[in-house]
Chains A and B, each alone.
Chain A
Amino acid sequence: MEGSYYLTTAYLGMIAGLAIWTWTVVTRSRSIELRLAAVESTVGVEASDADSLAPQSINIANQDATD
């Protein structure tokens, strides 16, 4: 009976641990997807344009500074 107590404690602890970990990771993944989509729609560019956008933005900022 004592062995069953230990077994149940271990099983419940680990199932809860697995479920919490999985829930946290999936929620974090979906939340960052939403944040990225929101930022990209605010900027008004596609996600894959992000690399080319940075140098353009810096050029515009430099031009403004010289004007």
Chain B
Amino acid sequence: MSTQVQEGEEGVIYMRGRVAEVLLGAGFFGIMATLFLGFHWAPSVSINAFESPAAQRIFYWHVPSAWAAFIAFGVLFVGSALWFFKRSAFGWRLHVAGTEAGLACGLMTVWSGCVWGAAEWGTPWDWTDVRLNTFGLLTLLALFLVLGRQSQPDGVETRDTFSTFGLYGFVLVPLTYMATRIWQIRHPGPVVAAGDSGGSLESSMALVLMIGALSFTLFIVGHMLISMRITQLEQRLEQVQNSLDGGI
């Protein structure tokens, strides 16, 4: 009976790994399809409204990657709370997955934004723009958490410290989301869920953007599942190695 349970657990872990890889593959394929559609199928924007209409197509990557980054930062917040208040090992795995995914998506968003800014504004960054700076801080927070965790020995104190950063750092998420609704400095205003100000997105552009958001969501969920699995396997490996050390 016990052997059957063990085989069942192994099977679940194996299946989770395969599901994650399938999600990764589907997400990656969807992202490539989004880029292709954004490049060849989506209509051009008005040449009067943009300095660099061709570079505007980065939008189909920039917005979905920012969306995926917010999902990752949400997972980071939930994981940090579960660890800090419930001492949940699952919560810690969520925290680890959220930081890594948040860093990757944050860097993609910042990079694509800088390239577009260089083409459209003539400068890759504007230190006076609230949206740019709060999102930049979020990405730096994720970088700090990833590097900090790698340089510190794992333990309750380390996890508590990083979870606290994850909890308080989440304040930047709603602030970043609301920034262009409150302060219109340089970053364009919202084109989706714009409220009374009205979005200006044409239907085929919106469709490509939706495909991009869905693809990035699949991709980032796949990445977070794999990351959680790696953390779980590392913990198991440490347990077995500790048991070996104890036996010597």
Q: Which residues of A contact B (CB under 8 A)?
A: 2-4, 6-7, 9-11, 13-15, 17-18, 21-22, 25-26, 28-29, 32-33, 35-36, 39-40, 43, 45-51, 53-54, 57-58, 60-61
8 example contacts (A-B, Cβ-Cβ < 8 A) are as follows A2-B119, A11-B58, A13-B115, A21-B104, A36-B233, A40-B240, A49-B6, A61-B248
Complex interface: stretch among B156-164, B184-192, B223-231: B223-231
A14-B61, A21-B104, A40-B240 known; 7 new pairs, CB 8 Å cut-off, are A3-B52, A14-B112, A28-B230, A29-B229, A32-B233, A47-B236, A47-B240
B150 on the interface (CB 8 Å rule)?
A: no
* Chief secondary structure at chain B's binding surface: helix
Interface core residue of B6, B107, B247 (most chain A CB under 10 Å): B247
- A61 contacts across to B, CB distance below 8 A: 246-248
In the complex, the chain B residue whose C-beta lies closest to that of A6 is B119
Query: How big is chain B's contact interface, by range?
Result: 35 or more
Contact present for B28 and A29 (CB under 8 Å): no
B41 on the interface (CB 8 Å rule)?
A: no
Docked Cα-Cα span, A39 to B242, in Å, equals: 11
Docked Cα-Cα span, A9 to B57, in Å, equals: 12
Give chain B interface residues in 184-241, CB to chain A under 8 Å: 219, 223, 226-227, 229-230, 233-234, 236-237, 239-241
Which 3 A-B pairs give the minimum distances between C-beta atoms? A3-B54, A57-B247, A3-B52
Contact present for A36 and B119 (CB under 8 Å): no
Contact present for B240 and A10 (CB under 8 Å): no
B21 on the interface (CB 8 Å rule)?
A: yes
Contact present for B28 and A13 (CB under 8 Å): no
In the complex, the chain B residue whose C-beta lies closest to that of A47 is B236
- B241 contacts across to A, CB distance below 8 A: 39
Contact present for B233 and A48 (CB under 8 Å): no
Given contacts A18-B28, A26-B226, contact A32 B234 (CB under 8 A): yes
